[in-house]
Each structure stands twice: as structure tokens, then as C-alpha cells.
Structure 1
Amino acid sequence: MASPPSTRATRGRGRPRNQDVDAVAASWNDEDVRVLFELRYKTVATRFEGAKTSKQVNEAWSLVASQLCVNRVKVFTTTQCRAK
């Protein structure tokens, strides 16, 4: 038996949206961006260049995000760093 239309939850088609903290945009300032680029293109560059699998690339981005959090004393997720 189907639920009555009034109590049935309507759902859009396709894949459900990811409802985690990455939905909130990070507040980036010039110094945050400078440190991010320095980490990505200087400090951790060899990890990205040597990555042969997507898992290794994800680990490199995790390292960038964690070092950025420590250096800037702010919370940045891997997804936010990747999107910047």
C-alpha cells in the first residue's frame, strides 16, 4: 500500500545532495589564498606530481587542508581547498 499523498515525502530525481559542512563556504582572505597556493604548488607539489591514483591525489589535498588549518588557525576542509 502506498502512503497517502499528504504524508509521503516528496523527493527529487537523481542523486541526493551531500549535506555536510562543505555546503558552507569558507571565508578566504588574501593571506589564506597565498598560503594555500604556496602549500599546493611548492610544499606539497611533489605529492601531486607523483600521484598515480585518485586516492593519492585525495591524500595530497587532505595534507594541504590540514597544514592550512594549522598555519592559518582556521578550519578549511579538503573540498573547500580543492574548490579554491
Structure 2
Amino acid sequence: METDIQTDPEHLTVHSVTVEASSTHPEDWGRATALALSQLIQEVIATTGTDPCRDPGGLDVALHIKAVPEGEAITVTWRD
């Protein structure tokens, strides 16, 4: 699992988590996606002190899937 916190040019904080799924079949990616989302939410709570899921606007994330030799890398990203 890989986690990353960056500040983009617009001064927004970008949080992302990458988890590798051990299968190339989309129906098997659920566990990796759930783990990445859970880790991302915990990271955001630890950094900001608030739960983004409880925000009136909800939690808006980006999902990126990339092939790796062992399966797929699932990356979930949130911009503060």
C-alpha cells in the first residue's frame, strides 16, 4: 500500500492511496478498492481533524486503475 500527500499548484492538499489487487478481473477489485478508501478516509481524518464523509457535500474521490504485473493498482485520490 502506498500513501501520498501533496500540495498542487492551486494550493489544494491532495491525498491519495494506492493498493494492489492480485487479480486482473474487475469483479475481484472490491477488497483493494475498499481498503484504499478506508485508508484514505483515515488519512484525511488524521490530517484535517474532520471526517470528509460527514461533510454536507459528501466525499468526492477520483479512482484510477493501472495494470501491474501481479494484477491491478487501485488508486483513490481526494483533493481538500
TM-score by length of 1: 0.39
TM-score by length of 2: 0.41
Between Structure 1 and Structure 2, which shows a larger proportion of helix residues?
1
Between Structure 1 and Structure 2, which shows a larger proportion of strand residues?
2
Q: Which of 1 and 2 has higher RCO (CA within 8 Å, sep 6+)?
A: 2
Which has the higher Rg, Structure 1 or Structure 2?
Answer: 1
